[in-house]
Structure 1
Amino acid sequence: MEWAAYHQGLEGVDAHGAVDFLDYRDPPIVGVIADRSRSKYGRRRPFMVIGSFIVAACLLVLGWTKEIVGHFVEEGEFRKTCTIVLAVLSIYAVDFSINAVQACCRALVVDVLPIPKQQAGSAWTSRMASFGHLFGYAIGTMDLVKIFGPSLGDTQFKKLTLVSAFGLLFTVGVTSWAVTERVLMSGRGSESPQGIIQIVRQIFRTTMDLPPRIQAICWAQFWSWIGWFPFLFYSTTWVGETYFRYDAPLDVKQSKDALGDIGRIGSMSLVVFSSVTFIGATILPSLIKSPAEDGFTPRPPAAIAGLVTKIQKYKPDLLTAWIWGHLTFSCCMVLAPFAHSFRFATTIVAFCGFPWAIACWAPNTFMGMEVNRLSSGTYRRLPRDDPHELASPLTPSLHRLENGSLDDSVASTGELSGLYFGILNIYTTLPQFAATFISTLVFSIMEPGKSPELAHDAHPSEHHGTDGPNAISICLFIGALSTVGAAYATKKLRDLQ
């Protein structure tokens, strides 16, 4: 999004706060509407497909904004204003739609997989997301105009929007074709559709009276994201500024494009981070005990039986791994103010790839398991006024499933997945506002105006010393303290088992 804003000449437009606001209000509503859908194509796939087409269209509009506006508006200041407005609206539409697609994809995993396979499903989701990040970075480093020519876009940005749009449509199309989604044939056919106000009220009531284990998952996510948001938002800049402050030769420090140099240097750490995340997402699931293993007794060949028994004995469960992931990330961020070299800063960022792989995997796994228990009647407590309330386990007649068979003892319709994953997204987004507020305070106190690495031509009042840690490292340090709270909140989840 930052590249898009820069490409369209949106310098000075702070789109991040508005984008966060859209994140906050979008997925719960879409999730609840999807939960109630009785489409013959399923509850999730129609929203995934429609949302993907909207994302693709808006990406193409974003790439060709100047050309589209130029076709209708004459040259002048008004054309520039229209270009900015259309680009910002496209960014908002992309953000809104992609969150809806992601929410439905997560809910689809919950819908189609039984409880013992929720961890494996979330692990594969994390693997594919990590691979997608690496693939995106690789595509971004290629000269697409030189490779494909100027016929379908004469700039790198236009080519990237094309690749992103068609890549999304292809992958969502394959998923929608390959997945046999179970259609709930419940007794709700006579219910009248709810309006937006009723849906918002339902979300609010449910959020205020969550089942204890789901509440614990949400709070663990809340405290962890106060730490993760500054890292994901500022780590590239932090590594670049660390290089400029401690390692860069004099001629590099006097570069006319210091901001661009900081971004390019910092992006190297992002590639390393993504590589480590992909490795972690690939390897860690095989080293962590899944819920399906609790009732499974391995019978390996006698030659390796002893080794397998020892390995099984020391394999941690996912909850333990999630707690250690919080603590590992916290330890890394505590070291941020003491990073006085580019290599050390890059190493810290790289190490965070392993806890990030777990952070992308564990919450969705536990939420999927809890939602499946709710839908199958294992849970007996839900908000009293919630239309989804289960007074007793649903009988098979109310859980007839089309287009697929499933073991009733371990599976469910995933009827609540859209609602509860939407609420989890609220607990993921609210910390971003808190972290942004904390970062604003830190920057206003330590580095008002520009950072020392970029203040060469600034007013003398904006020149700050470089002896101590920079402001970003303090933000990361504060995030580390919050992540310790996340570890405690995650431990409470174990106490509720």
Structure 2
Amino acid sequence: MSRWLGQPSIKGSSEAMRMALLTFTTVGITFVWGVEQTYCTPYLLSLGLTKSRTSLVWIAGPLSGLIVQPIVGAIADSSKSRWGRRRPFIVIGAIISALCLLVLGFTKEIVGFFVSDEEAAKHLTVLAAVLSIYAVDFSINAVMSAARSLVVDTLPIEKQQTGSAWGSRMSAIGHGIAYGTGAIDLPSIFGTFLGETQFKQLTVIAALGLVATCGVTCWAVNERVLISVRHDARKEGGMLKVISQIWHTIVHLPPRIHAICMAQFWAWIGWFPFLFYSTTWIGETYFRYDVPHEAKDSGDALGEIGRVGSEAFLIYSVITFLGSWVLPMVIKSPDEKNYTQRPPESIKHVVERFSKYKPDLLTAWMCAHATFAAAMFFAPFATSFRFATLLVCICGLPWNIATWAPPAFLGVEVSKLSGGNASYRRLSDDPVEMADMNGSGPSLLHLEHGPDDTQGTKSSSTGELSGVYFGILNIYTTIPQFIGTILSTIIFNLLEPGKSPELAHDAHPDEHHSTDGPNAVAVCLFIGACSAVVAVFATRKLKYL
């Protein structure tokens, strides 16, 4: 039997503060993703890569998610570190990600320091930039895996919905900061202190932000310490045993968890091109239709595309931020029938009347797929960056649901499988008594796991295998990204086989550079819309399980 020491706790004097601290890591993670999604595609294009080759670079994201998240989740599940099962992975992953971000931002300077030959340095710069992107993706996926499991481990079943909603809010904040800073001319503010270009300064800020946000969450949360795992099976078998356990769990997924994973699969075939190429699409649409011809040779195409894309996504992030606060108020929790908060007596009747008309999260998730599909069907017909921006902004609320619904449903299911008997327990209203009982002061919220919990079971109420299940959900998130990468590579080769006509100035004359015809990224977004339609029906199956 598994044995545990201590009780999970979160610093903070209110539930909102505790939830914010628990999910604060998400701000730094999404900040990094926002910078990568906004600037790395045009950055690689500016180095001379074709769009088809650039699309192959983004296989780093799904590859890292496919490998890192399930394995890190499974290893962390059996970790006996005195700091807890998740926090060490968060800290180490954040430090590695930060260092790799700095290498990515200053790749030219680092390569130039070691290589003097200009032609050789050019090729090595491209190679170093690609490897840095891979390293960032691999390390930040470890952070994501541990951070998601930390929420499930720490919160009782009735708070899984709230924790997931707060994760969505923190994600919106992180994206808002990323797109906001990206839209600002940073060199005019900081000079050359953080680097002489916009991209360099963003990588420095993102690296510092990731370490800071991860540090705050690790400081605020105390985990239960795993003393021993039942039979130590995974430890005895090593990595092969971990992989075997992951495969066995995938093959024998409970029906509802399998349905959640399939809905995520079809949805992410659509979301992948949107997240990685839409800022580039907006910038290229701007250069195609809105910029005077004489202004296209300004020499700062990378900065212009990045800033135009960031301005559009800044509006998008404001919508997602507002939605992350409003939507949880108007959507029923998956377990609201069992866990209903009691409103104040003065507004009890109003709240109860309003609750009758609230849609459930499953219905909202289906509507989100449909809305995203409707918007992206129009992508190939966008002939101005304003219309492209409008289509992107329409996807703001669907993205809220896309980041909120899958972990919320999965968190509930994992908690049910694990017994789900944890609940909040305030030790005392007397600060002195509280300090005496737990030695941590009155600002800690503890979780009560039952009298037999110190001995534990294979399925403890703290989600002993939450790392494995969330890793599997990420597999169903990353496989569509492989599919999206292959599709986008084919489309880019067919429609835009040469270097980016908006960014490349040193290409061979025989290369294709026409901006006539459909934009290749827009076609990828259209195909993603078709997949989102399938996701509607895949999600609907959850109603009957």
TM-score, L = length of structure 2:
0.76
Question: What does residue 3 of structure 2 align with?
Answer: none
Q: Could you tell me how far apart the structure 1 residues matched to 2:388 and 2:277 are?
A: 12
SS for the counterpart of 2:216 is helix
Q: Which of 63, 70, 76 is the matching residue for 2:117?
A: 76
Question: What does residue 372 of structure 2 align with?
Answer: 329
Q: How does 1:229-244 map to 2 (within 5 A)?
A: 229-244=272-287
2:538 partner letter: A
Q: Which of 512, 516, 538 is the matching residue for 1:489?
A: 538
SS for the counterpart of 2:116 is coil
How many residues matched? 469
Q: Could you tell me how far apart the structure 1 residues matched to 2:194 and 2:513 are?
A: 46
Q: Which of 126, 136, 141 is the matching residue for 1:99?
A: 141
Percent of residue pairs bearing the same amino acid type: 56
Q: Deviations over 1:145-183 (max 9, x none)?
A: 554565565554444333222222221111111112123
User: What is the Cα deviation at residue 482 of structure 1?
Assistant: 0.8
Q: Which range moved further: 369-378 or 92-101?
A: 369-378
Q: Which of 48, 53, 64 is the matching residue for 1:11?
A: 48
Residues 94, 494 of structure 1: CA spacing in aligned structure 2 closer, same or farther, 3 A cutoff? same
Q: Could you tell me how far apart the structure 2 residues matched to 1:94 and 1:111 are?
A: 26
Residues 46, 144 of structure 1: CA spacing in aligned structure 2 closer, same or farther, 3 A cutoff? same
2:473 partner letter: L
Residues 19, 301 of structure 1: CA spacing in aligned structure 2 closer, same or farther, 3 A cutoff? closer
Residues 148, 482 of structure 1: CA spacing in aligned structure 2 closer, same or farther, 3 A cutoff? closer
Question: What does residue 274 of structure 1 align with?
Answer: 317
Structure 1 residue 35 corresponds to structure 2 residue 77: yes
Q: Which of 97, 109, 115 is the matching residue for 2:157?
A: 115
User: What is the Cα deviation at residue 368 of structure 1?
Assistant: 1.1
Question: What does residue 223 of structure 1 align with?
Answer: 266
Structure 1: 5+ residue stretches without partners: 379-402
User: What is the Cα deviation at residue 478 of structure 1?
Assistant: 1.7
2:486 partner letter: F
Question: What does residue 395 of structure 1 align with?
Answer: none
TM-score, L = length of structure 1:
0.83
User: What is the Cα deviation at residue 187 of structure 1?
Assistant: 5.0
Q: Deviations over 1:366-399 (max 9, x none)?
A: 1111111222289xxxxxxxxxxxxxxxxxxxxx
Q: Which of 325, 330, 353 is the matching residue for 1:310?
A: 353
Structure 2: 5+ residue stretches without partners: 1-35, 422-444, 452-458
1:94 partner letter: V
Question: What does residue 401 of structure 2 align with?
Answer: 358
Contact 2:69 2:145 in 1 (8 A): yes
Contact 1:59 1:94 in 2 (8 A): yes
Q: Which of 452, 456, 467 is the matching residue for 1:418?
A: 467
Residues 262, 33 of structure 1: CA spacing in aligned structure 2 closer, same or farther, 3 A cutoff? same
Residues 291, 278 of structure 1: CA spacing in aligned structure 2 closer, same or farther, 3 A cutoff? same
Structure 1 residue 58 corresponds to structure 2 residue 100: yes
Alignment RMSD: 3.4
Q: Which of 469, 474, 491 is the matching residue for 1:442?
A: 491
Contact 1:236 1:267 in 2 (8 A): yes
Question: What does residue 479 of structure 1 align with?
Answer: 528
Contact 2:48 2:504 in 1 (8 A): no
Q: Could you tell me how far apart the structure 2 residues matched to 1:21 and 1:337 are?
A: 29
SS for the counterpart of 1:238 is helix
Q: Could you tell me how far apart the structure 2 residues matched to 1:88 and 1:360 are?
A: 27
User: What is the Cα deviation at residue 317 of structure 1?
Assistant: 1.3
2:527 partner letter: I
Residues 70, 194 of structure 1: CA spacing in aligned structure 2 closer, same or farther, 3 A cutoff? farther
2:117 partner letter: G
Question: What does residue 390 of structure 1 align with?
Answer: none
1:177 partner letter: W
Contact 1:116 1:290 in 2 (8 A): no
Q: Deviations over 1:225-278 (max 9, x none)?
A: 111112122222333343444444454467666666444433322222122111
